[in-house]
Structure 1
Amino acid sequence: MTDADFTFLRLLLQQRSGLSLTADKQYLAESRLGILCRRRGVADITALVSQLRLGRDRALENAVVDAMTTNETLFFRDRTPFELFREIILPERLAANAGSRSLRIWCAAVSSGQEAYSLAMMLDEAAALLAGWKIEIIGTDISTEILEKARAGLYSQFEIQRGLPIQMLLKHFEQRGDKWQVSQQLRGMVEFRQHNLLERNDHFGRFDVIFCRNVLIYFDVPTKAKVLELLAPRLVSDGAFILGAAETVLGLATPFACDPEHRGLYRRSAPAPQPRANATRSFQTGIEPLAGWRG
């Protein structure tokens, strides 16, 4: 790959997906795009870039973005966000939304779906408290290919072993040959849509909770700020926003601020109202911690 080709690819990825590919990642581009060239019958990366330069093949541009996007995820990844959801966020929403009896959750950059299905499993465990509620979980990703995997909910033994308690495997999955598939009930709880975080999202409506974990780390500072600015209007004023363990809004001009009482939890700039004590106590005494977790 020539320096000119790599410069073009870096600019294309930045514009199309926000991915900031640093100069020391040329080897990664050569490895991943080399595989793409072989799959599509293109002679080499130079020939691939020549096709991209014409600007006529959006499908090819999407394939390049797919190839360069990191889709690392697992069930109940990093535990803390899920503990926050069970112990803090859900009790708040039970109190705040008692009138509408609805709950909307957005998993942005959902990859192959494990985060969204993890939340669906937790909500299923709380079914008694949520009886009669309208629950929506929407998972989005820029990659159409990875979303097909998410919709199928079909995972290898290796993927299943990463973070999923055995009790939940037996309850919510069915074995399909050498793989495991999320139950039809849980798949019905999640809707997957293609979405680029750099694009407008007004049509999504507003959400009580937004998970946007482990994607900002791939963006430069201006792109991070832009993504957060686009996400903020989609969160209700007293909603909850979750970033990845290695991510923060510190140093960024955004409408989000750290919750002073709960590490890893972010709020809109306006302070969120406290949940009613009765709702919190009722929820916490009705649901046990996830089976297989060790505190």
Structure 2
Amino acid sequence: MTDVEFDFLRAYLKTRSGLALSGEKRYLVESRLGPVCRRFDIATLGAMVSALKSSRDVALERAVVEAMTTNETFFFRDRTPFDLFRDVLLPEAMARRASQRRLRIWCAAASTGQEPYSLAMMLQDAAPRLAGWTVDIIGTDLSTEVLEKAKAGLYSHFEVQRGLPVQSLIKHFEQVGEQWRISASLRQMVDYRPLNLLQPFDGLGTFDIIYCRNVLIYFDAPTKGDVLARLSTSLAPDGALLLGAAETVIGLTEKLVPNAQHRGLYVQAGRTPAARPAAGGILSPAVGSPGLLPPAAQTGAAAAPPLRRVVGL
């Protein structure tokens, strides 16, 4: 692969996926796109570049972009964002949405589904306190291939060993040969949709909680700022955005600000924290867990077409 061909692929991937590859990543392009060449019976990466330039082969274009997408994920990854969901985010969101009895959660860059299914397990475990509520969980990803795996909910022994407590495996999965399938009730709780974060996503509606973790690290600063600004418009005025540990909004957008109590959590600019629900309340938040979001006065999530009732009884 010549320098010109490599530069074309870098620009091509940047335009279509936001992936910002440095000049030192040539080995990564060669190792990941070699199998794509073999799948499409293309002799060399140079010939692949020529095909991308000269024809509109949608299948090839998708395969090139998806091959370069990093899909590293596992159940309850980094644990803290899920403890935060259980102890603070969910109780406070339920207190503010008590009149509507509906919550909307978006897992952007959901990959093979471990993140949204981790949240779904927590919601199902809390079902007695969520009786009569509608909770929409949307999982999106650029890659249609990983979304198909997420929809199937079938994982290897290695995948269920990564972060998943044994009691959750026993409770929420069934063994299928040498693999494990997450329960049908949990699969029904998540609506998976293909979505490129570089493209408009306002059609998804507004969300109370957005998880967009470990994807912005692959974008350059202008792309990060653009995505974050648009995420803010999809976040309810009193909503919560969670980013990865190595990600931040600082220096990228003024629409979102860090929450002082919880690393990795961001809220709309100009909002002040509210008192947390009393101990023993909706989900009995951990003693001492600080509140982090403002009151709900006329700040409910914008209406969106109903998806499914997942915990309502």
Once the two structures are superposed, the pairs formed by residues 45-84 of structure 1 within 5 Å of their partners are: 45-84=45-84
Mapped partners of 2:87, 2:285: distance in 1: 11
User: Paired residue for 1:283?
Assistant: 282
Aligned partners of 1:211 and 1:241 also within 8 Å: yes
Q: TM-score, normalised by structure 2?
A: 0.89
Which residue does the alignment assign to 1:168? 168
Q: Distance in 2 between matches of 1:235 and 1:174?
A: 35
Which shifted more, 248-257 or 163-172?
A: 248-257
For 1:50 and 1:140, locate their aligned partners in 2 and report how far apart those are by CA, in whole Å.
31
Which residue of the partner structure matches residue 154 of structure 1?
154
Structure 2: which 5+ residue stretches go unaligned? 287-313
Q: Secondary structure at the match of 1:85?
A: helix
CA distance in 1, matches of 2:165, 2:9: 41
Counterpart residue number, 2:8: 8
Q: Distance in 2 between matches of 1:275 and 1:166?
A: 35
Q: Deviation digits for residues 225-273 of structure 1, max 9, x if unmatched? A: 0111111111100001000011111221241100112222110113155
Alignment of 1:1-295 (within 5 A): 1-272=1-272, 274=274, 277-278=277-278, 281-285=280-284
What do the CA deviations read for 1:58-105 (whole angstroms, capped 9, x no partner)?
A: 221111010000000000000110111111101110111000000110
- What per-residue deviation string (whole Å, max 9, x for no partner) do you get for residues 78-134 of structure 1? 011011111110111011100000011000001000000000000011111111000
* 3-state secondary structure, aligned to 1:34: helix
Distance 1:231 1:99 in 2: 25
Query: What is the aligned residue count?
Result: 287
Report the residue type matching 2:39 in the other structure.
R
Asked if the contact 2:245/2:263 (under 8 Å) is kept, the reply is no
SS at match of 1:281: coil
Post-superposition Cα deviations, 1:135-160, rounded to whole Å, max 9, x if no partner, equal 11000000011110010010000101
What percentage of residue pairs aligned between the two structures are identical?
58
Residue type of the alignment partner of 2:260: P
Cα displacement (A) at 1:286:
8.0
Q: TM-score, structure 1 length as denominator?
A: 0.94
Distance 1:236 1:182, change over 3 A: same
Instruction: Give the partner amino acid of 1:128.
Output: P
State whether residues 95 and 276 of structure 1, in contact with CA within 8 Å, keep that contact through their aligned partners in structure 2.
Answer: no
Q: CA deviation at 1:170?
A: 0.5
User: How many angstroms apart in 1 are the aligned matches of 2:128 and 2:177?
Assistant: 33
Indicate conservation of the 8 Å contact 1:13/1:65, yes or no.
Answer: yes
Amino acid at match of 1:282: G
The letter of the residue matching 2:259 is: D
Distance 1:105 1:240, change over 3 A: same
Matched residue type, 2:106: W
Distance 2:111 2:254 in 1: 25
**8 Å contact from structure 1 (residues 256, 269) kept in 2:** yes
Q: Secondary structure at the match of 1:209?
A: strand
Cα distance change of structure 1 residues 82 and 276 upon mapping to structure 2, 3 Å threshold: closer
Q: Tell me which moved more, 175-184 or 36-45.
A: 36-45
Secondary structure of 2:284's counterpart equals helix
Matches of 1:187 and 1:113 in 2, distance apart? 10
Distance 2:260 2:52 in 1: 47
Alpha-carbon shift at residue 55 of structure 1 (Å):
4.5
Q: Distance in 2 between matches of 1:272 and 1:235?
A: 16
Give the SS at the match of 1:11: helix
Matched AA of 2:155: Y
Q: CA deviation at 1:42?
A: 1.0
